[in-house]
Amino acid sequence: MKRKIARLAVETVAVLLALAIFGVPISYVLTNAGKSSAAAAQMSIAPAANTQYLANFSSVIAQSSYMLIRAFLNSAIITIVSIAVLLGISSTAGFVLERRKGRGISWINFLVLAGLMIPPAVVPTIWVLKTIGLYKNMMGLVLVEAALAFPFSVLLYRGYMGSIPRELDEASFIDGCTGFDLFMKVIFPLMKPVSATIAIITSISVFNDFVNPLYFLPGSKNVTVQLTLYNFISTYLNKWNLLFADILLISIPPLIFFIFFNKKIVSGMVAGAVKS
């Protein structure tokens, strides 16, 4: 009995602490996003006397001639195309990396693993993009995002390939499959669970990415949601209500993903971290 009470006490304290440390900042944003600028300037967590969420949201959306809408569109395109490119390049590479052995393969493995650690070189990448005419171009950013996410995804694919029996490959070969058929008709469909995990993780990280759009996609024509949020810091100097309203709007897509795919996100992250 005594033990039970002690446990309950510990658990209550833990929940209260978590609410204070992680809950309060979130509810601070939630309440202040609905206040007037003057009320939000108080920086208090107290609920507003009268809320004006709709007015705040619409003024954020209308800001700088509806920049946020274009940003949402751009971010969606960049995210979706990056995922498509990433899945294409890393599934094929992971497939062969797991199935073949030899010195060449070890070298490729080394180069891939190095990509997990080495910080990307900023200006040389800009120079490459400029040289091939993709600087300040969404496709250029997509290719950079795919290249940077490549090592991690290859590791996930390679790990999963290990669980697909080679007998399948041999059977398909006897049935007259070429390597390409084998990959397209047998292997890639079987790797759907990893593909889904990678797609989900990448969608959140690319959508939330600030650094790469800042480097490789400057200019107001190409804004992404994180860049607008960053630009609004100076536009909305001390108008915390509007900044927070913007934060709420652009956090909706990752939040939806988190609610639906919580387990997949966690399992993918852990698999990648533990296997590397």
Residues 193-222 that bind another protein (CB under 8 A): 204, 207-208, 210-211, 214-215
Single-letter code of the amino acid located at 254: P
Q: Least CB distance from residue 43 to another protein, whole Å?
A: 5
DSSP state of 34: T
- Residues from 235 through 274 that contact another protein (CB under 8 A): 240, 243-244, 247, 250-251, 254-255, 257-258, 262, 266, 269-270, 273-274
Q: Which of 39, 150, 195, 222 binds another protein (CB under 8 A)?
A: 150
Q: Is 276 in the site for another protein (CB under 8 A)?
A: yes
Q: Is 147 in the site for another protein (CB under 8 A)?
A: yes
Query: Please, which residue, 159 or 254, has the CB nearer to another protein?
Result: 254
Helix (H/G/I), strand (E/B), else coil: 166: helix
Q: Is 160 in the site for another protein (CB under 8 A)?
A: no
- Residues from 49 through 78 that contact another protein (CB under 8 A): none
Buried (b) or exposed (e) across 144-180, using 16+ Cβ within 10 A?
A: bbbbbbbbbbbbbbbbbbeebeeeebeebeeeebeee
Q: Is 229 in the site for another protein (CB under 8 A)?
A: yes
Q: Which of 66, 107, 110, 127 binds another protein (CB under 8 A)?
A: 127
Q: Which two tokens stand for residue 146?
A: 């795919």
Size of interface with another protein, in residues (CB under 8 A): 90
Q: Is 167 in the site for another protein (CB under 8 A)?
A: no
Helix (H/G/I), strand (E/B), else coil: 119: coil
Single out the segment in contact with another protein by CB under 8 A; choices: 48-56, 59-67, 188-196, 229-237: 229-237
Query: Using CA atoms, how far apart are residues 54 and 132, in angstroms rounded to an integer?
Result: 44
Q: Least CB distance from residue 270 to another protein, whole Å?
A: 4
- Residues from 6 through 25 that contact another protein (CB under 8 A): 11, 14-15, 18-19, 21-25
Q: Which two tokens stand for residue 138?
A: 């969404």
Query: Please, which residue, 59 or 92, has the CB nearer to another protein?
Result: 92
Q: Which of 89, 139, 190, 196 binds another protein (CB under 8 A)?
A: 89
Classify burial at 143, counting beta carbons within 10 Å of its beta carbon; exposed 0-12, middle 13-18, buried 19 or more.
Answer: buried
7: number of Cβ within 10 Å: 10
For residue 237, what is the enclosing H or E element?
none
Query: Using CA atoms, how far apart are residues 13 and 5, in angstroms rounded to an integer?
Result: 12
Query: Please, which residue, 70 or 143, has the CB nearer to another protein?
Result: 143
Q: Least CB distance from residue 236 to another protein, whole Å?
A: 10
Query: Please, which residue, 16 or 54, has the CB nearer to another protein?
Result: 16
Query: Using CA atoms, how far apart are residues 27 and 29, in angstroms rounded to an integer?
Result: 5
Classify burial at 75, counting beta carbons within 10 Å of its beta carbon; exposed 0-12, middle 13-18, buried 19 or more.
Answer: buried
Q: Is 230 in the site for another protein (CB under 8 A)?
A: yes
